[in-house]
């Protein structure tokens, strides 16, 4: 199986701080990889490097056969195949839900408005928000906004989805609706890289869990192994602290 994502020796520095310190990671087709680790361990930066939102300091990242380089035209092309969803939803507040979902298919894939809406409507129906198509994001709950953000990315029919702690800004009772949606996606065979603090989700859904610590992947493996018998002391420590805070 050829990997969808191939990361080799990825280093990312902001000034004198090294945020990612030599990351090697393969993600194969239909695989769900969860990145866990404390805040500041580099999870978000790693995701942002995969779709070229952050320029790499050194190393190589290949996504679906395309190398991530700092070239606007190549990056635009690459990002068509890579959907990303952020912690803060980042819906466009001046556009209706439908307009949010259809903007990229229309402008990037040059679909007509009807074609784009035909593509968007079943997606919105699936998340039960078809009746909100003409509503503006501000009138939706956080969970609804985040689900629209996922649908907005899916409307581009990406080969890979990146999720950047997408439930962290949600009220606890809204987290589940978003996690369920991601679970569905995973079962349908979407290739996903998920940075998350939701350990239960990682345990249930991931094929592979990577524990990041100070910009390095300290340990990776199937969730059963990571969560029950971690090899690294730091992994165990992190999981213990997470457990104590009632997150597992």
* Interacting residue ranges for other proteins, rule: CB under 8 A: 48, 51, 53, 72-73, 75-77, 79-80, 82-84, 86, 88, 90-94, 96-97, 103-104, 107-108, 121, 130-136, 138-139, 149, 152-153, 156
Which residue number, 114 or 173, has a Cβ lying nearer to other proteins? Answer: 114
Which residue number, 154 or 218, has a Cβ lying nearer to other proteins? Answer: 154
Distance CA(51)–CA(231), nearest Å, equals 31
Alpha-carbon torsion (47, 53, 59, 65), positive or negative: positive
Which residue number, 125 or 204, has a Cβ lying nearer to other proteins? Answer: 125
- For residue 153, give both structure tokens: 């990315």
Q: Smallest distance, Å, CB 158 to other proteins?
A: 9
- E-only strand ranges, 58-135: 58-63, 66-67, 82-85
Which residue number, 75 or 236, has a Cβ lying nearer to other proteins? Answer: 75
| Beta strand pairing call for 160-164 and 82-85 | parallel
In the three-class reduction of DSSP (H, G, I as helix; E, B as strand; rest coil), residue 118 is classed as helix
Q: Smallest distance, Å, CB 81 to other proteins?
A: 8
Distance CA(116)–CA(113), nearest Å, equals 5
Q: Smallest distance, Å, CB 164 to other proteins?
A: 10
């Amino acid at each position: 199986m050829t990997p969808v994502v191939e990361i080799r020796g990825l280093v990312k520095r902001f000034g004198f701080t090294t945020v990612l310190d030599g990351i090697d990671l393969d993600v194969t087709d239909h695989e769900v990889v969860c990145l866990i680790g404390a805040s500041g361990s580099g999870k978000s930066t790693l995701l942002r490097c995969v779709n070229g939102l952050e320029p790499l300091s050194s190393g190589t990242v290949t996504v679906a056969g395309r190398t991530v380089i700092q070239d606007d035209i190549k990056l635009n092309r690459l990002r068509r195949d890579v959907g990303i969803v952020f912690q803060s939803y980042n819906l466009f507040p001046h556009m209706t839900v439908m307009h949010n979902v259809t903007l990229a298919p229309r402008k990037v894939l040059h679909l007509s408005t009807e074609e784009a809406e035909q593509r968007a409507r079943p997606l919105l129906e699936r998340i039960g928000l078809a009746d909100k198509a003409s509503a503006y994001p501000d009138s939706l709950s956080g969970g609804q906004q985040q689900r629209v953000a996922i649908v907005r990315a899916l409307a581009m029919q990406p080969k890979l989805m990146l999720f950047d702690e997408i439930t962290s800004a949600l009220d606890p009772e809204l987290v589940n609706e978003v996690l369920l949606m991601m679970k569905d996606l995973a079962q349908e065979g979407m290739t996903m890289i998920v940075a998350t603090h939701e350990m239960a989700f990682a345990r249930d859904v991931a094929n592979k869990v990577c524990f990041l610590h100070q910009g390095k992947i300290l340990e990776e493996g199937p969730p059963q192994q990571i969560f029950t018998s971690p090899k690294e002391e730091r992994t165990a420590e992190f999981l213990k602290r997470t457990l104590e805070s009632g997150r597992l």
